[in-house]
Every structure is written in structure tokens, then in C-alpha cells.
């Protein structure tokens, strides 16, 4: 099972996963399930060239059940969440470095690659 830290990372990994025939997969369906080991997302995929079906299973315990910041009203009612947001905003760089250190300590090398790709994407948007 692949560790994922957000849904966007799941799709980032999908975009880089090739079929045995050498071309890329397209998502056909998603299954979110609660397993004994924790929550997971399973992306069912199919090769756009040869039609081979496959699935990618992701461990989503790092973000499953966390607050959805899109529902701002719900977040604002939870003082614990507000305090964590304040602390993480006040200590942004320390939080980022600490997070990267934890990922390395856990042996999760896909997450830093995903973060690196995201940084490169945003840097390329700022350059003329």
C-alpha cells in the first residue's frame, strides 16, 4: 500500500504510474474503505492503450478524518483546530522542516518527491 498525505498526491502518483505496455493509466473508479490497518483509497485504473486494468491502493490515515478546511464554519467552531492553525501559521517553516524530517524518519520517500514536484510547479508559475 502506498502512503498518501492528500488526495492530490494520489493523483500525482497515478499520473506517473505506467502500465506494462509503457503507457499511462486513467482512473475508472475510486473506493474508500476502512480496513483493519486503517483507512484507504483504492483507485481502479485502466490503460488507455492496451486496456489492462489495475488498482492503486493508498494508505490515507495521515489525512482521513481531518478537518475539511473548505467547510470554514465548522472549523471555526472548533477551538482546538483554530489553535493548531494559529500555531502552524506562526511557525510555518519550522512546521515544514519538521514534517519533512518525520517523513524521512518514517522512510516515506514518495511524499518528499511529491512536495518537490509541487514546489517546482509553483516556482514555474512565478517565473517570467
111 is in which domain, residue-wise? 67-128
For residue 53, pLDDT beyond 70: yes
CA distance 41 to 55: 10
What interhelical angle do 110-126 and 7-15 show, nearest 10?
A: 90
Residues 36 and 80 grouped into a single domain: no
Residues 38 and 87 grouped into a single domain: no
Q: How much is the pTM? A: 0.63
Residues 58 and 14 grouped into a single domain: yes
Q: Quick: pLDDT tens for 74-94.
A: 656 667 766 666 666 566 667
CA 9 vs CA 13, 79, 122: distances in Å: 6, 28, 15
Contacts of 11 (CB under 8 A, 6+ apart): 27
Amino acid at each position: 500500500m502506498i502512503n498518501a498525505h492528500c488526495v492530490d498526491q494520489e493523483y500525482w502518483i497515478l499520473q506517473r504510474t505506467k502500465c506494462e505496455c509503457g503507457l499511462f493509466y486513467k482512473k475508472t473508479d475510486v473506493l474508500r474503505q476502512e480496513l483493519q490497518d486503517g483507512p484507504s483509497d483504492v483507485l481502479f485504473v485502466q490503460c488507455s492503450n492496451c486496456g489492462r486494468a489495475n488498482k492503486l491502493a493508498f494508505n490515507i490515515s495521515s489525512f482521513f478524518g481531518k478537518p475539511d478546511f473548505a467547510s470554514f464554519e465548522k472549523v471555526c467552531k472548533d477551538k482546538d483546530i483554530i489553535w493548531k492553525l494559529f500555531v502552524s501559521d506562526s511557525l510555518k517553516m519550522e512546521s515544514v522542516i519538521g514534517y519533512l524530517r518525520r517523513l524521512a524518519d518514517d522512510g516515506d520517500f514518495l511524499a518528499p518527491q511529491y512536495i518537490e514536484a509541487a514546489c517546482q510547479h509553483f516556482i514555474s508559475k512565478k517565473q517570467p
